[in-house]
Amino acid sequence: MKEPPSPPVKRIEQGISADRMRNTTFITTGTGVGGEALWFSDTINPNGLHYTITDQSVWDTTTGANISNQFTYNTPNGQTPAGNRATATWNANGRKVEKLSENIICASTRITCQK
């Protein structure tokens, strides 16, 4: 890797996780330059509540492009991730991030709590 990505920043939508309430988690990082792999991982502490994951997406906030289809998610929509850990992995397919400067990208996951 020519240049490592910026450290990730996690932000959780404000609110209370009560029955059927939704919060969205955002994780933002850079792509770095010359990388061959990129993944997001988020461990969720449900505090004993059942929850599901929906609307997983990844956006290149530098260009505004939705790049969700370039990622593989470990949790199908409407399911709870194994071990309370949701991931999104970039499908490099032999490509490298060959840019002169890093792009900033953001992964978001909607979490719905249920009693």
The total number of structural domains in the chain stands at 1
Residuewise pLDDT in 10s, the chain (115 residues): 577 777 788 888 776 555 567 778 888 887 777 666 778 888 988 888 888 998 898 888 888 888 888 888 999 999 999 999 999 988 666 665 555 456 677 777 777 776 5
Q: pTM of the predicted model, to two decimals?
A: 0.76
| In a domain? residue 27 | yes
Q: Give the C-alpha separation, 33 to 30, whole Å.
A: 9
- Segments forming the whole domain that contains residue 19: 9-114
CATH classification of the domain holding 56: 2.60.40.740
Termini Cα distance of the chain: 45
The confidence score (pLDDT) of residue 100 equals 45
Question: Does a structural domain hold residue 4?
Answer: no
Q: For position 32, what pLDDT does the model report? A: 72
> Does residue 46 lie within any of the structural domains?
yes
Identify whether 3 is part of a domain: no
CA distances to 48, 56, 97, 107, 109 from 10, in Å:
22, 15, 23, 10, 11
Residue 72 forms part of a structural domain:
yes
CA–CA separation, 113 and 37 (whole Å): 31
Q: Report yes or no: 21 and 15 within 8 Å, Cβ to Cβ.
A: yes
- For the chain, the residue count is 115
Do residues 43 and 53 lie in contact, with contact meaning Cβ atoms separated by under 8 Å? no
Query: Which helix (H) or strand (E) is 39 found in, with range?
Result: strand 39-43
Answer whether residue 1 is part of any domain: no
Residue 35 lies in a domain: yes
Q: What pLDDT was estimated at residue 85? A: 93
